[in-house]
Amino acid sequence: MNRSMDQEIRVFLLDDHPAVREGIALLLARYNMTVCGEAGSGQEAMQQLAGLVPDLLLLDLSLGDESGLDLIEDVKASGIKVLIYTMHDDPRQIRLALAAGADGYVTKREISSILYEAVHAIRAGQLYLSPVALASINNQGMPDKLGSLVERLSPRELAIFKQIGRGCSKSEIAETLEISTSTVETHYTRIIAKLECSGTREMRRRAILYRLPQQT
């Protein structure tokens, strides 16, 4: 990896343990990443984030009486990417975080290079799951309801749905499948209806969840 790019990465830390935040800051400094702010609670973080422009929020799920899950959607609405960095490795927590819009998930018991890889992958627009998180998801398998709903899709709709799960845009899907963007939009409407989604956003979340057990 090209570490000359690290100087451009601004990270905000949200963890309710000051000593942990200090340790993470030292770790990120080794990779020449800039910690532009830190907080111990969701309220404190949201106040600070209003005046900062970090590339990424490093978020713990356990924040005293708060849950980091409740903050993901608001942070994402501000255009900030979210990487979960937590001790929790159960598949339910991982799926909930991804469904809320998290861009990546890393557990604190993994080696530091995993965190480095996660930051760079997310910065490049990719969804990142650490080896432990991915193994947890794979061991549980796909939610039964989602699997049964996906069976309703036609072969072309399924192909588009898989492309959505990879993070592809409408124009990228159109190019890959050699169809028009208007045709992709028509399939979007059909997929949303068949999967009983509330809209495009929920469809994208389900596409990501569908893709996870198939990752290698």
Does pLDDT of 178 surpass 50? yes
Q: What is the dihedral of CA 42, 28, 123, 199, to 10 degrees?
A: -20
Confidence check: pLDDT of 141 > 60: no
d(CA 159, CA 214): 14
In percent, the amount of the chain with pLDDT more than 70 equals 91
For residues 122 and 126, what is the distance between their CA atoms, to the nearest angstrom? 5
**Pairwise CA distance, residues 131 & 110, whole Å:** 8
Q: Residue 7 has what pLDDT?
A: 53
Domain with CATH 1.10.10.10 in the chain: 144-214
CATH number, domain 3-140, options 3.40.50.9100, 2.40.10.10, 3.40.50.2300, 3.30.1330.60:
3.40.50.2300
What is the location of CATH 3.40.50.2300 in the chain? Answer: 3-140
Report the pLDDT averaged over residues 85-97: 87
Per CATH, domain 144-214 is 3.40.350.10: no
Residue 60 main-chain phi, psi, to 5 deg:
-85, 150
Task: Using alpha carbons only, give the angle 164, 136, 55 rounded to the nearest 5 degrees.
Answer: 55
